[in-house]
Amino acid sequence: MRVFVNKRIPEIGLKIMKDNGLDVFIPENDNLSDEQWLKYCQDSDLILNVGFHKFDRDFFEQCPNLKAIALLSVGFDHVDIKEANSRNIPIGNTPDVLSVATADTAFLLMQSVARRSSFYFERVKNGEWGDFDPLFALGQELTGKTLGVFGLGRIGFEMAKKAKYAFDMNIIYHNRNHNEEAEKELDAKYVSFDELVAQSDVLSIHANFKPEQSELFNAEVLKKMKPNAIFINTARGGFQNEHDLYEALINNEIWGAGLDVTNPEPMSKENPLLGLSNVCVLPHIGSATEEARNGMAKMAADNLVAFSKGEKMPNCANE
């Protein structure tokens, strides 16, 4: 079976597929236009896809020979799973292997915003080291504060664990279900969404994104947060209304924001959030560690190899 891999991935994934008899195709120049990408998808049995191309009905209709897709991501909000199900197309994803890396990124953003690191780094680069000023641009300490986790699954758990052990933070969370492990090990407390919003000193989003949650964090919700609160999002940018986030920040309704995901992506360099000193933005690099990317490449390859042998994918997003 021919596998189209749309970008270079760690060697381990390519080796697994080749060793198992798959005919792996990666274009020489992997900076593909949407048209080229679609054409290669149409010519393949299997796809190992990097990035967030839309896999919707229109796509599936244009690729009648496609048999399976392995995503190089845990998130699959860009795939119409119902449509894939109706065509018996399994969609593999990569849970667990990127949980630590993504939680590390949320943790990094939390500290970076709390201590205004991007602001100070800009000043140093601009030759504005400044004198020791006891009152200038002070940060806040995280020790003993309350971390609110929206979506306490694998990544949320890793974030909560780091916050608990590094800063002795109190953990509250809102989730579809209770997370007994977090309650037992981290003394995490389940709260309603409104309580989460009102009580968090840091609110960190780790939920899977669903279309009905589009811009859930809007003016109405942000107004209910504490004025010292830090908003962190390493999940999906669709959770936030960025106009409202900007207003909340400039009106001191919240204290700062750390975003690894934006709405839309990529964030325009004209986005006013980038002009604020209490905002830190990263370009969706949550899983960008060697360990996570190797794990993701292996998992995606394992998914396709299993499918090619007539087995169930070990990590499959289909309901």
Cβ neighbors of 54 (< 8 A, separation 6 or more) are 78
**Spatial distance between the Cα atoms of 237 and 264, rounded to a whole number of angstroms:** 7
Extract the runs of DSSP E, i.e. beta strands, from 217-317. 230-233, 256-259, 279-281
**Beta strand pairing status for 146-150 and 68-71?**
unpaired
Name which position in 111, 287, 303, 315 contacts ligand DGY (CB under 6 A): 287
Catalytic site includes residue 311: no
R_g (Cα) of the chain, nearest Å: 21
With CA atoms as reference, report the closest residue to 199 among 235, 147, 256: 147
Contact map string, positions 166 to 185, toward ligand DGY, x by CB under 6 A: --------------------
With CA atoms as reference, report the closest residue to 317 among 69, 46, 146, 139: 69
Closest contact distance (angstroms) between CB of 73 and ligand DGY is: 3
Catalytic site includes residue 284: yes
Single-letter amino acid, residue 88: N
Position 258 contacts ligand DGY (CB under 6 A): no
Catalytic one of 53, 174, 206, 284: 284
- Phi, psi at residue 292, to the nearest 5°? -65, -45
Strand partners, 48: 5, 70
Closest contact distance (angstroms) between CB of 136 and ligand DGY is: 36
Position 105 contacts ligand DGY (CB under 6 A): no
For residues 74 and 207, which CB has a smaller minimum distance to ligand DGY in the complex? 74
Catalytic site includes residue 265: yes
With CA atoms as reference, report the closest residue to 151 among 102, 115, 184, 224: 102
Stretch that binds ligand DGY, among 53-61, 70-78, 184-192, 198-206 (CB under 6 A): 70-78
Position 204 contacts ligand DGY (CB under 6 A): no
Closest contact distance (angstroms) between CB of 76 and ligand DGY is: 8
Position 240 contacts ligand DGY (CB under 6 A): no
Position 73 contacts ligand DGY (CB under 6 A): yes
For residues 79 and 280, which CB has a smaller minimum distance to ligand DGY in the complex? 79
Closest contact distance (angstroms) between CB of 300 and ligand DGY is: 11
With CA atoms as reference, report the closest residue to 100 among 290, 256, 276, 265: 290
For residues 75 and 151, which CB has a smaller minimum distance to ligand DGY in the complex? 75
**Spatial distance between the Cα atoms of 131 and 34, rounded to a whole number of angstroms:** 52
Name which position in 75, 92, 153, 295 contacts ligand DGY (CB under 6 A): 75
Position 98 contacts ligand DGY (CB under 6 A): yes
Name which position in 3, 24, 74, 225 contacts ligand DGY (CB under 6 A): 74
Residues designated as active site: 236, 265, 284
Per CB under 6 A, residues contacting ligand DGY are: 73-75, 98, 286-287
